[in-house]
Chain A
Amino acid sequence: MPSITGVSAVDELRGPDGHGPLDKGRASTGRLGDRIFSGTARGAGVLVIAIVTLIAVFLLSQAIPALAKDKVNFLTSTQWNVDATPLQFGIANLLWVTVLSSAIAMVIAVPLGVGVALFITQYAPRWLSGPAASLVDLLAAVPSIVYGLWGLQVLGTHMEGIQTFLIRLFGWIPVFKDAGIGAASTILTVGLVLSIMVLPIVTALSREVFAQTPTTNMEAALALGATRWEMIRTAVLPFGKPGVISASMLGLGRALGETVAVAVILSALAGSAPWSWSMFNGGETFASKIANNAAEFDSPQKAGAFMAAGLVLFGLTFLVNGIARVVIERRKAFVE
C-alpha cells in the first residue's frame, strides 16, 4: 500500500550548516552524467505538474464557452438540454444523485471498514489476519464493470424485498419515497455496490493506522484494567481517528468519481422526469452522465456542457482528497 501522506523527502539529520548530508548538489559531482540524470528526473516531476495543470486548463477552456451560453442557472437547474438553442443545462439532479449514492456508500462502508480493520489488527488470530487483509484487498481487484454487471443482474434481483420493506417503514420520509423504478437500478442499489467498492480502501488505510498505535498506549490501558474493547476505545480509536477520517475521504473520492458501475446499474431518467429526493429513484451521477453520452460529444458546444460537469466532479474529488491530505498531515505533526 503506497503511502498517502505524500511526504517523500527522507528525513535526515541536519548538519550545523542546516543541510542534510545528502542534500541535492552535495553528492552530485557536477559531471555531465549527473546533470543529465538529475535533469531527467526533475523533468519527469515537472511533467507531472504540467499534466495536472493542463487537465484543469483544458477542462476550463472547453467548459467556459458553454457555460457562458447556458441560459439557466448551472448550479440549481435540473434541465439538461444540450441540443436546445439556447443551451440549457444545470447540474442539480446530477449533484443530488452523486451525493446521495456516495452518502449511502459511506454510511455502510465506513463503520464496516473500521470494524474489519479492527478485526484484522486486534481480534483475528495471527494466522488469519494476513489472509483476511489480502481477501479484503481482493475486492479492489474486481473491475468496476464487473461490479456493475453483478450489481444489476445478481444483487439487483434481491433488492425488491429490501426496497418494499424500507418503503413500508419509512415511506413518509421523502428520501424513502417510492419512485416506481425497478428495484435493480435504483440509487440504493448503486450505493450498496459503491460501498463494496469503497470498503477495501477504507479498510486498508484504517488497518495501517490502527497497526501503528503505540504499544505503550495499549499496554497502559490494559494495565489499568481495561477490557480489550475498552483498550480499543481509549487507545486505538483515538489514535487512529485522523487516519480513519482521511481513509473515508479517499473512499468518498472514489465513490464520487465511480463511472461504469453506476452507468451500468442506474437507470437514466427522461429529461422531463419530476424532481425527486428518493433513493429508490433512477437518475445519473456526474460520471455516469458523461459516460452515457460519450456519443454526443460531436459539437464543441455539447462537449463543453459535459466538460463543465466533469469540471465540477474534478473539483469535488479535489476538495475531498484535499481534506484527506490536510487531516493526515495534521496527524503527522501531532504524532511526531
Chain B
Amino acid sequence: MTAVSVSSDSRLNAEHPGGPALGFGHRSRGRALRNQLARVVMWTAFAIAMMPLVWILWSVVSKGGQMLLDSHWWTNSQRGITNRVVGGGAVHAIQGTLIEALATALMAVPIGVMTAIYLVEYGRGRLARIVSFTVDILTGIPSIVAALFIYAVWVTTFGFQRVGFAVCLALVLLMIPVIVRSTEEMLKLVPNELREAAYALGVPKWKTIAKVVVPTAFSGIITGVLLGLARVMGETAPLLILGPYTKSIATDLFGGLMPTLPTMINQDRTEVLQPAVDRVWGAAMTLILLILLLNIAGRLIAHFGRPKT
C-alpha cells in the first residue's frame, strides 16, 4: 500500500501512510482502491463538464469566427441582403441589443438597488420577508412567462403594438432579481462601523446610505449590474413574443421593429444556404463575445474594486 501525496497546500492531506487508524479499521486494499476510484471519478466529471464548453465554443468560433474578421460585419446592416448573397453586417442587431439592454438597465437598476437598500438597511419584519420572498419568486420565473405577462398587459389589455420597449419591460422583470440579490450581498459586506461612525457624526440615515454605504459597495453593485445585463442580453424568449425583427437599422424603442442579435439568429436559423448559415453563426459568436466582455468586465471590477475597509 503506497500513499499518494497530492496536496502540498494547506488543505488536509488524507493519504497518510500507515499509522493507527481507529474509527475506520485498518486500511484495506479495497478502501484504498475505492479512494483512488473516487479521485478518478471526480477528475472525469470535470473533464466531461469541460467537453460541451470546449465543443460549443469551438463550433461557434470555427463556424462564425470568419464573419467577425470582415470589417463590414461591424459597419453594415442586413438591409437588402438575401440568403444567397454573401456579406452584410450585424451592426443593426448589435445596436438593437445594446439599446434594449441599456433601456432595461435604466429601469431595472434603480428598482433593484432601492429594493436591496430597503431589504438591508430598512427592512425588518413581515413586509421585508414578503419582499424577499417575491424576489425569490421573480428569480424563478421563466423568461417565457415574463414575456407572456407583458404581452397580456401591453398588447391584450392596453392594445399597444409589439415594440422594443415591451421587450425591455419583460427583461426588467428578469433583471431585477439578479440586481437585488447581488446588491444585497454587497451592502451586507459594508462594515457596520462605517454606518455607526456616520451616525455618531450626526449624519442622517439617508445621507449615510447615499454617501457612505452605497459608494463603499459601488464596485460590487456595478459588477451585479453587468452580470445582470449579461443575463438579459442573451434572453431570446421575450424577443420572439414581443420584438419583431427587421434587417435594417432601427433605433426607436417605440417604433415597432427592433433587430437584435438573438432574433437575427432566430430569423435565419432554418436556412440551408451557406451565406445565411455563416451569418447565423457569426451573430451567435458576436452575441457570445458581447456577453463574455460584460462578464469579464464585471469580474475585473469585482476583483480590483473590493470595498476598502
Contact = CB atoms under 8 A, between A and B. Distances in A.
Interface of A: 2-4, 6-10, 12, 20-24, 27-29, 31, 33-34, 36-38, 40-49, 51-52, 54-55, 58-59, 62, 111-113, 115-116, 118-120, 122-126, 132, 134-136, 138-139, 141-150, 154-155, 196, 199, 203, 215, 218-219, 222, 224-232, 250, 253, 256-260, 263-264, 286-287, 290-291, 294, 297, 300, 303, 306-307, 310, 313-314, 317-318, 320-321, 325
Q: Which of B110, B114, B123, B206 has the most CB of A within 10 A?
A: B206
B210 A55 contact: no
Contact of B181 (A2, A148, A215, A321): A2
B241 A291 contact: yes
Given A8-B184, A45-B115, A146 B288 contact: yes
Nearest to A225: B21
A229 B114 CA distance: 46
Interface string B96-126: 0000000000000011101111111111100
Contacts of A154: 55-56, 59
B178 interface: yes
15 contacts: A4-B181, A8-B116, A27-B195, A37-B205, A48-B131, A142-B288, A143-B262, A143-B287, A144-B235, A145-B284, A146-B56, A154-B55, A227-B27, A228-B35, A230-B35
Main secondary structure of the interface of B (DSSP, over half): helix
Interface string B31-48: 110110111011111101
Given A44-B111, A111-B45, 6 more contacts: A24-B123, A52-B138, A58-B149, A123-B43, A225-B25, A259-B237
A228 B148 contact: no
B69 interface: no
B237 A291 contact: yes
A294 B166 CA distance: 14
Contacts of B156: 62, 297, 300, 303
A9 B117 CA distance: 11
Given A45-B115, A126-B11, A222-B12, A58 B153 contact: yes
A226 B26 CA distance: 10
B209 interface: yes
B292 interface: yes
A118 B262 CA distance: 35
B70 interface: no
B81 interface: no
Contacts of B15: 227-228
A36 B42 CA distance: 54
Interface in B130-144: 130-144
A123 B6 CA distance: 9
Nearest to B55: A154
A227 B6 contact: no
Contact of B46 (A9, A33, A116, A250): A116
B127 A45 contact: yes
Q: Which of B46, B266, B299 has the most CB of A within 10 A?
A: B46
B219 interface: no
B23 interface: yes
Contact of A227 (B34, B185, B192): B34
B173 interface: yes
A310 B135 contact: no
A303 B291 contact: no
Given A52-B134, A118-B42, A260-B237, A125 B7 contact: yes
Contacts of A134: 299
Q: Which of B9, B144, B152, B188 has the most CB of A within 10 A?
A: B144
B292 A141 contact: yes
B6 A125 contact: yes
A2 B135 CA distance: 12
B201 interface: no
A43 to B, nearest CB: 8
A72 to B, nearest CB: 22
B265 interface: yes
B152 A307 contact: yes
B144 A257 contact: yes
B298 to A, nearest CB: 11
A33 B240 CA distance: 44
A23 B128 CA distance: 13
B265 A37 contact: no
A44 B42 contact: no
A223 B226 CA distance: 45
A149 B114 contact: no
Interface string B149-193: 101110111000000000000000100101011101100100010
